[in-house]
A and B are shown apart, each in its own frame.
Chain A
């Protein structure tokens, strides 16, 4: 395999708050090949969104990348001058957000907003911009795309608005798209459609995709590989089928058990007891230990990193590998 498109090594994004340092992302490493789809899964506050924003250099203060490197197409994005980072954003790395209602500007037509996204990176006449925008809208499945350019966001349904946002992300033909829970705000039926289309679009254009979600089910139908994050760290990763079939980390098991689709009918859904730990006061041991059914005194020490056959997990007492 050639050099990966994206190689994140020991990424640390901390929030320097008055109450102390919140280690939102603490030593995350992973890599991604061109055209690969990676699922990034975790609870709220696990650091998955901050990881995504770190990649495009848009961590809100007081957040800051304090260590590690993000090599993208041979260049380290950490410490890149702001103007070079800006030129990269939207052109080579694009991002789609959770709530299209909030991301699109309500007082500009979508044609104007798409033209701005194009003109940020190249001299494009308004007319050429409109043509390219219309073509992209048609590609993401918006009917009568050319006439809808003069519409405002509120004139679209929720699903259509997210398609517009996806079209904007695809406009400049990026090599990587970071999608931060883009289907969470949508109806279940629309979710499935968007997932399928997103996968098809990524495959046909060879775009790599990082799909951030709290929903393992969504990721399982989309991703090639999955990373499970907990308290700012990756606790398990591997090919999506294997991880879901035979998780090795008790946290992944807990996430799977809490999926309604996995439960026996008539049984109560199992949930992971307790809540995610405060990122301000993490012990050196396994952060999941207080909630873990398998935890014992060993877990006060940092968990070992076990890597085999393309799979990785950090646990003192991993679950048995599938027979």
Chain B
């Protein structure tokens, strides 16, 4: 197990290295940052001085190594627009996205898996057909449209929930969170629902397919022969048998939602990293873009590692026993 962890950590480091090179080439080496950094009417001397100070006169590989060195020290530079260290800026926005993404993926999983298991257990029932219709909608209706409809329905017409923004937060561990108060939750609900629709559809499909397959196995037949109730079989046997793909998708979806909740955050004016990155792209705030991309890569690598390790918890055959009989 320890060997496995070390091996995965080395792989993770390699992925991060490759990602840093891509980000560097993509954002720093292409185009001319100097045009963005200093005003167009600066004199030639000021311009030359800035180029030297930023190291832009050095060969590409030296610039990359310097960039890498700064990254390793946690120095992502300073935002052009906000004039504060990029890392602080992103970390101030990350909790908002984190709780939004987590809420969305949790709703999708906790609602989607039971629905999908039922749809797989009774595939021909009208309820199962209705569930599958919902999942088709979840896949095919664009997120931005659903977001607008949600706002129109629940915020504008019914006036039950706020239309956007994050509302009040409660400070815990020096970070503001919305989900701890009822009012905060009311702000969180609509964007989380909006984001969760696609995940819901995915979880329904995944657990339906897994359940249909599991119901045909001798394991389920044997459990039936032992007189177990179908409900017990679904809860104790089937759910465990289908848990590995579900955990995998949970992890991947959490990662991609954290990174790409952009559309929803924009529609609901949710002050998360997705909105930050869109703003920084429009204002050509390069350090923010770089830091964001590197952090996203880091996030995915970490989530994948956690998912891999959780397999061993879910499937005893993947554990290596020192003293197995």
Taking a contact as CB atoms closer than 8 A, the residue among A89, A151, A152 that contacts B226 in the complex is A89
Query: How far, in angstroms, from A106 to B223 measured CA to CA in the complex?
Result: 13
Interface segment among A66-74, A90-98, A261-269: the answer is: A90-98
Q: Tell me if B222 counts as interface (CB < 8 A to partner A).
A: yes
Cβ B317 vs Cβ A102 within 8 A: no
Query: How far, in angstroms, from A113 to B240 measured CA to CA in the complex?
Result: 12
Taking a contact as CB atoms closer than 8 A, the residue among A94, A112, A155, A156 that contacts B225 in the complex is A94
| B315 proximity list for chain A (CB < 8 A) | 106-107
Query: How far, in angstroms, from A168 to B225 measured CA to CA in the complex?
Result: 10
Query: How far, in angstroms, from A106 to B314 measured CA to CA in the complex?
Result: 10
| B218 proximity list for chain A (CB < 8 A) | 97, 99, 102-103
Q: A102-B218, A107-B240, A152-B317 are in contact. Are A120 and B226 (CB under 8 A)?
A: yes
Query: How far, in angstroms, from A314 to B181 measured CA to CA in the complex?
Result: 80
Contact with B along A49-60 (1 / 0, CB 8 A): 000000010100
Cβ B316 vs Cβ A95 within 8 A: no
Q: A89-B225, A120-B229 are in contact. Are A104 and B317 (CB under 8 A)?
A: no
| A112 proximity list for chain B (CB < 8 A) | 236
Q: Tell me if A125 counts as interface (CB < 8 A to partner B).
A: no
| A276 proximity list for chain B (CB < 8 A) | none
Q: Which residues of A, 94-123, contact B by the 8 Å Cβ criterion?
A: 94-95, 97, 99, 102-109, 112-113, 116-117, 120-121
Interface residues on B, range: 20 to 34
Q: Tell me if A33 counts as interface (CB < 8 A to partner B).
A: no
Q: Which B residue's beta carbon lies closest to that of A157?
A: B325
Contact with A along B210-235 (1 / 0, CB 8 A): 00000001110111111111001000
Cβ B317 vs Cβ A91 within 8 A: no
Q: Tell me if A203 counts as interface (CB < 8 A to partner B).
A: no
Q: Tell me if B237 counts as interface (CB < 8 A to partner A).
A: yes
Q: Tell me if A88 counts as interface (CB < 8 A to partner B).
A: yes
Cβ A154 vs Cβ B317 within 8 A: yes
| A172 proximity list for chain B (CB < 8 A) | 227
Cβ A155 vs Cβ B232 within 8 A: no
Query: How far, in angstroms, from A88 to B316 measured CA to CA in the complex?
Result: 32
Q: A102-B219, A103-B222, A117-B227 are in contact. Are A151 and B325 (CB under 8 A)?
A: yes
Interface residues on A, range: 35 or more
Taking a contact as CB atoms closer than 8 A, the residue among A105, A106, A113, A121 that contacts B227 in the complex is A121
Cβ A116 vs Cβ B228 within 8 A: yes
Contact with B along A289-305 (1 / 0, CB 8 A): 00000000000000000
Please give the distance in Å from B223's CB to the nearest CB on chain A.
7
Please give the distance in Å from A25's CB to the nearest CB on chain B.
18
| A152 proximity list for chain B (CB < 8 A) | 316-317
Contact with A along B234-266 (1 / 0, CB 8 A): 001100110100000000000000000000000
Q: What are some 26 contacts across the A-B interface (CB < 8 A)?
A: A86-B224, A86-B229, A88-B227, A89-B225, A90-B225, A95-B222, A97-B222, A97-B225, A102-B217, A103-B219, A105-B241, A106-B315, A106-B316, A107-B240, A108-B236, A116-B223, A116-B228, A116-B236, A117-B226, A117-B228, A151-B325, A152-B316, A152-B317, A155-B321, A155-B325, A168-B226
New contact pairs (18) apart from A86-B224, A90-B225, CB-CB < 8 Å? A87-B227, A89-B224, A89-B226, A90-B226, A90-B227, A91-B227, A94-B226, A97-B222, A103-B221, A106-B219, A106-B316, A107-B314, A116-B228, A117-B228, A120-B227, A120-B228, A154-B317, A168-B226
Which 10 A-B residue pairings sit nearest by Cβ, starting from the closest? A90-B227, A103-B222, A90-B226, A102-B218, A95-B225, A89-B227, A117-B226, A152-B316, A120-B228, A120-B227
